[in-house]
Amino acid sequence: MKLSLPLFIASTTLSLVSAGTPFVPARSSSQIVAQHHLNSVLSLRGGEVFEDLLTLQHVEDIIMRASAEGKAVAIDFTATWCGPCQQIAPVYHELSESDAFSNVVFLKVDVDQNPATAAKYDVKAMPTFVFIKRGVVVSTLRGANPEMLKEKLREIA
């Protein structure tokens, strides 16, 4: 008896399921990253700094979602080798947890891991903070100045 190809595929699939091992297609690393990005975009809230933003698309997705929710965005462009960046990082995290800035979404972008986003926002020095309201850049701050950082956040909050 000769089996046709569709019948052979169907019988192979049935035997996998009937053997107790359901067929689960493999996910590529880009699919896994996309799902991670989707999950973080769906859960925008204050009190958290979104890190591990590896693509310009991911950053843009978060900015669009924040705009749709009526929230402002603050982006900290940083680098692991930047001393002033490391000094201002605890202040940035502390501000993200402040009730005064609960309507601001805080992002942190490593310029070495995500050069496309740094280029789009014309980052020439670190740290650079970019402040976005309704999807539009309204202000930029270069340098690790805690008082100016608080002032810029007050302007967009």
Domains recognised in the chain with CATH numbers? 25-156 (3.40.30.10)
pLDDT of residue 44: 58
Q: Which amino acids are annotated catalytic?
A: 82, 85
For the stretch 102-154, pLDDT in tens is 999 999 999 999 999 999 999 999 999 999 999 999 999 999 999 999 999 99
Average pLDDT over residues 92-97: 96
Q: Which two tokens stand for residue 140?
A: 């930029």
For the stretch 23-38, pLDDT in tens is 445 555 555 555 554 4
pLDDT of residue 40: 47
β strands within the chain, DSSP E: 49-50, 72-78, 104-110, 128-133, 136-142
pLDDT of residue 103: 94
Would you tell me how many other CB atoms lie within 10 Å of the CB of residue 113?
15
pLDDT of residue 50: 85
Q: At residue 110, what is the residue type?
A: D
Q: Which two tokens stand for residue 83?
A: 């001393």
Beta strands 104-110 and 72-78 are parallel
Does the structure show a pLDDT above 70 at 3? Answer: no
Q: Which two tokens stand for residue 143?
A: 């340098």
- Phi-psi category of residue 75: left, alpha or beta, with phi > 0 → left and psi -120 to 50 → alpha: beta
Average pLDDT over residues 70-92: 97
pLDDT of residue 35: 52
CA max distance for the chain? 82
pLDDT of residue 45: 54
pLDDT of residue 14: 45
